[in-house]
Structure 1
Amino acid sequence: MASRGAGPRVRKAPQERRAEIVEAAAKVALIEGLECITLRRVADLLDVRPGLVGHYFPVAEDLVAETFGTVAEAELLTLIPPDDTSSALERMARFLTRALSPEFHDVNRLWLNARHLARYRPTLRDRVILQGDHWRDTVAQLIDDGVGSNEFGACDSQMVSLKILAVIDGLSADLNADPRFPASVMRMAVDVAEQELGLHAGDLGAPPTS
């Protein structure tokens, strides 16, 4: 029986191989959870020896943290694209509409998973804090753009960003167990944003019918 790695090896550039490893780990994380990421599990998915994965990530916890950070960053870039030239109002409305949509349920569960594990995994905790700060800064910059263009009222953008994301995180955590929230509850982040940004009800999307 031929063992793994017995065939011709495909030599890839280090950056490409590292990205491939993280991508495979992300599949494990999104389906099974971050705690299921091991060097052997990822090696099995890539059909390579665990030693190859260990060459890039000698410590499994580094791979766990990198995987979470990569997935969280990709989500943020999708929700608030840096090259979006739409108005701040339009960008904020799209962000709030999509953040809790089924499209991002798996990633939202990953955030919940990461925060739970971060209690006793310091490397992951540092990455969760880093990504959380980046999310808040990005939303705050969007708010500052809106204030600068007179689309939003003057406010403490960092504080408003924190409030909006706290509501999204809270709803996301509850949705993980019970997805039966009425539209009025699902709209709470929008309500907070409209109130804090000096907008009228419905400016960031039509009010719920229920």
Structure 2
Amino acid sequence: MTVSSRRKFRREGEGRRRQDLIEATLDCVAEKGLQGATVRAIALRAGVTGGLIRHYFPGKEDLLQAAYATIVGRMTEQAKAALAMEGAGPRRRLAAFVAANLGPPVVDTRVFSLWAGFIGRAHSDPALSLAHREGYLGFRNEVEALVAEVLEAEGRVAGKAELRRHAIAINGIIDGLWIEGCLASDIFEPGELADIGIATVEAQLGLNLGEEEKT
């Protein structure tokens, strides 16, 4: 590894240092896979000692858990950025959220490789399993809140069980299309996956998300 390929470890405080180590871990996982992301490799990537890593993370599994949670949380936050639409009603906001999950930067081959590497080990690693569960529930809760807003604006009364089912279904729709987009983006037209995702969510809810909300 050349010096230029190392991350510059910034001495800006505990939180920033911890995040630098997480980013170095993600770099190593992307390049070497989970097995190759050893403490030594991560330390070399970050330009620090293994002892410093252990100061912030008790063990490698704790560091991997934090790295996976960062990936999942980052994808959710990138999609949520699409909700900052001044004057937009609930339907437009839900459509924008679905579309954001099915295009760049969320649809990305590096992100998918990282996610796949972590998820392949989650079934046998309690720490990664917990990170996955928390990430999934956090995303699903976001979807559920958006659906609740849409249905409320329509005057449709939806109980907790119905909202939960809608959120589970929409999460599955997004996940499936996201995987295909990451694996073979070149076989889809620009915006095609987003259009399909929105249409499928419309069918799920029985609403046209492109129409204006009732006043």
Fold equivalence (TM over 0.5): yes
User: Is 2:163 the partner of 1:161?
Assistant: no
Q: Is the 8 A contact 1:167 1:188 kept in 2?
A: no
User: Is 2:146 the partner of 1:142?
Assistant: yes
Which blocks of at least 5 consecutive residues in structure 1 are unaligned? 1-8, 205-210
Q: Which has the higher contact order (CA 8 A, sep 6+)?
A: 2
Identity score, percent? 24
Residue in 1 that maps onto 2:98 = 96
Q: CA deviation at 1:107?
A: 2.6
What's the TM-score once normalised by structure 2's chain length?
0.76
- Distance (Å, rounded) in 2 between the aligned partners of 1:184 and 1:74: 21
Q: CA deviation at 1:130?
A: 0.8
Residue in 2 that maps onto 1:208 = none
Which blocks of at least 5 consecutive residues in structure 2 are unaligned? 1-8
Amino acid at match of 1:46: A
Q: CA deviation at 1:31?
A: 5.1
| Structure 1 residues 1-210: aligned runs within 5 Å | 12-30=12-30, 32-81=32-81, 84=84, 86-104=88-106, 105=108, 106-150=110-154, 153-155=156-158, 156-179=162-185, 180-181=187-188, 186=193, 187-200=195-208, 203=211
RMSD of Structure 2 on Structure 1 (CA): 3.0
Q: CA deviation at 1:39?
A: 1.7
Number of residue equivalences: 195
**Inter-CA distance 109–10: structure 2 relative to 1 (3 Å threshold):** closer
Amino acid at match of 2:44: D
Deviations 1:107-141 (A, max 9, x none): 34433332211122121011101100110001111
**Inter-CA distance 53–200: structure 2 relative to 1 (3 Å threshold):** same
What's the TM-score once normalised by structure 1's chain length?
0.77
- Distance (Å, rounded) in 2 between the aligned partners of 1:15 and 1:173: 32
Residue in 2 that maps onto 1:6 = none
Q: Is the 8 A contact 1:25 1:67 kept in 2?
A: yes
Q: Is the 8 A contact 2:83 2:93 kept in 1?
A: no
Farther-moved stretch of structure 1 (82-91 vs 164-173): 82-91
Q: CA deviation at 1:103?
A: 2.0
Amino acid at match of 2:103: S
Which structure has the highest helix share of the two? 2
